[in-house]
Chain A
């Protein structure tokens, strides 16, 4: 499996990571090399086996919806890079 530089740029865009030209070359080579090693999986006979998302036989863990203590607004905002009037400040999403 060989990834082109365009493939790498597409993936980086999906992942929201800005890459330099040198990054793109390096990741194209490294990711292609790693994917080559994964090619053998395609040949494994998995018949009608169900996929495993999770090692334990758990589903729909429920609990009572009870009010409990949580962070105060100030605590929740303490690590926010930009705040204003008790809110997190962000750039406009819509142009």
Chain B
């Protein structure tokens, strides 16, 4: 009974339905696990134990009355940029240290409707700007596989919580790889939905043409279940897609014979670790054994420009979005300046961390008079080029398969003072983000004892096919990763 935190969400749901244990017992098991490992892992900014137990009691009543959903009574971690009424939401920033939202985000409303149990708000790089969770104002999260390593980022807390058994499933957000890269580095599954698949209402904004909320879980089935819960049209986000939405679990368990898999050669570049390359090569052979037609000679020539395009567009959008943090309406405020402008400049100087300031300034520069055409407009045109290459590729392939990250988890502190080295972590996740395409990272083995992730990119609104591919692959490897020993 004490090891209930080891279950996947779908296993736990079956056992809750069979009355083998209650959600209160499951939630207590997860809260005990949090107490045991959180001092080492630090996956959370806020643990919401009392709320969780209250939600668990309600969940148990739903099982009694027979109206439980697959997520009823399941302990969930929620990234701390997802607004939750009455529960502090910091976005990993000092500037929102005391921000208690008066309303709920769409995705959290969906979790509440499903009867899920929120155990805490997960740590993250400040405003989701980072690839290691070291840029959190609340201190870094540690990788459960090896505690002196980063968990990836920016959704590092959401990924580490799953790998450490501190939640059964979680929500992260992905702007340029912030779900997939930490999922890869923590040996779990993470999915970045098609832009527009999930409402951004109540999500602290970073790059508005890029941001998407998505699920992280132990296995592909849990991720499909979470996506089904949070996806769908919401009139409060005019970019959310009005198309009818499938139950994504229907794509699981289907064979992938004849699936046309493109492998872009531009992704196999200098900087990719040998161990990562070996695992990806093996993964491609597994896909072939499953009947996929794998073409290793796909070319996406503009891939190399995705990094520059992203790191111009995302900071530009961020510089506009983060203008709202002025110390007037909410958040941290410094009144010592004597004038309005001086107050505002001091508030932002103290409230934002170094990486957020760097990105605001980069974006401000790219949008400023005299540089707009050379940077922002040019990046938007190259974005079109990248989109067109993906569109052509999806005429010939069903999915595109790549590594998720060029390396396994790296030591805390190794890249934190070298912004560009940190940006290079996202080199394989940025192109599909720029194009707005859905992509999933699924574990594909270990290199020197650390997890490697395989990325499967799909066409617009084709999450079904990437889930189908990832699920078949995961089952061929024998199911989800065993959880690491946190010590």
List A residues at the B interface (Cβ < 8 Å). 3, 7-8, 11-12, 14-19, 23, 27, 30-31, 33-35, 37-38, 40-42, 44, 46, 49-56, 58, 61, 63, 71, 75-76, 78-82, 88, 90-93
Contact = CB atoms under 8 A, between A and B. Distances in A.
B384 interface: yes
B349 A19 contact: yes
A33 B311 CA distance: 13
12 contacts: A14-B364, A15-B348, A18-B345, A18-B348, A31-B361, A37-B308, A46-B382, A54-B209, A56-B241, A56-B436, A75-B102, A81-B331
Contacts, number: 159
Contact of B209 (A16, A40, A55): A55
A15 B102 contact: no
B99 A79 contact: yes
A25 B25 CA distance: 55
Contact of A80 (B329, B352, B368, B437): B329
A11 B387 CA distance: 31
Given A8-B361, A46-B382, A90-B328, A55 B387 contact: yes
A76 B102 contact: yes
Interface centre among B196, B340, B343, B381 (most CB of A within 10 A): B381
B420 A37 contact: yes
Nearest to B342: A18
Nearest to B386: A52
A79 B89 CA distance: 12
Interface in B327-348: 327-331, 333, 335, 339-346, 348
A86 to B, nearest CB: 14
A31 B362 contact: yes
Given A19-B349, A90-B328, A46 B419 contact: no
Interface residues of B, number: 70
Contact of A49 (B99, B340, B384): B384
A90 B365 CA distance: 28
Interface stretch (B278-286, B371-379, B393-401, B468-476): B371-379
B378 A30 contact: no
Contacts of B341: 16
A40 B385 contact: no
Interface string B14-33: 00000000000000000000
Contact of B380 (A34, A51, A71): A51
A77 to B, nearest CB: 9
A92 to B, nearest CB: 7
B326 interface: yes
A18 B343 CA distance: 10
B385 A31 contact: no
A3 B340 CA distance: 28
A32 to B, nearest CB: 11
Given A61-B239, A88-B329, A92-B340, 15 more contacts: A11-B365, A11-B368, A15-B361, A16-B348, A31-B358, A46-B382, A49-B388, A52-B381, A56-B195, A58-B239, A71-B102, A76-B102, A78-B100, A81-B328, A91-B339
B381 A51 contact: yes
B319 interface: yes
Given A8-B361, A41-B308, A51 B384 contact: yes
A38 B358 CA distance: 15
Given A46-B385, A55-B195, A81 B333 contact: yes
B340 A38 contact: no
B435 interface: yes
A30 B238 CA distance: 37
A46 B329 contact: no
Nearest to A33: B420
